[in-house]
Structure 1
Amino acid sequence: MGSVKPNYIKNFADDLMKAYQGVFNNDFEHNKDMVSEYTDIKNKTIRNRVAGYITRKAQIRGE
């Protein structure tokens, strides 16, 4: 089973997906680069968790 994401990860990812529609897809490496480009997150772990959540949501939506 997967881990439960904290609300700040979910909220941040949802805000990014709304602000930059069509930029994110179901490829983790691409999403990781886009999160780095569009935000000022310095912490690698937080960046990867946000990108992973975005990737998972994109897979569920079928993008």
Structure 2
Amino acid sequence: MGRVYTIKIKRISKQVLEAFPDAFTEDYEKNKELLKGIIEVKSKKMLNQIAGYITRMKSSKGEVETPESSAEEQ
């Protein structure tokens, strides 16, 4: 059974991915370190959840679909 993320985690992750689409990879540790420099998160748990969600999105889809990329396909 999978992990269900809150809307807040998903929203922040998508905003960060739209702002820095090529910065993130499928490596969780690298994504976590990169996030520390990009956003300020009050809790370690939230930072880990955001990094994990970004890693999962990058690895499951290969590339995250942004509004710009979906508009280019049409």
Give 4+ residue runs of structure 1 displaced > 2 Å after superposition: none
**Larger Cα-atom Rg:** 2
Q: Residues 4-26 of structure 1, C-alpha deviation per residue, up to 9 Å, x if partnerless?
A: 10000000000000001100010
TM-score w.r.t. the length of structure 1 is: 0.94
TM-score w.r.t. the length of structure 2 is: 0.80
Q: How many aligned residue pairs are there?
A: 63
Alignment correspondent of 1:49: 49
Q: What is the root-mean-square deviation of aligned Cα atoms in Å? A: 1.0
Unaligned ranges ≥5, structure 2? 64-74
Unaligned ranges ≥5, structure 1? none
How far is 1:42 from its partner?
2.8
Higher normalized contact order (CA 8 Å, seq sep 6+, divided by chain length) = 1
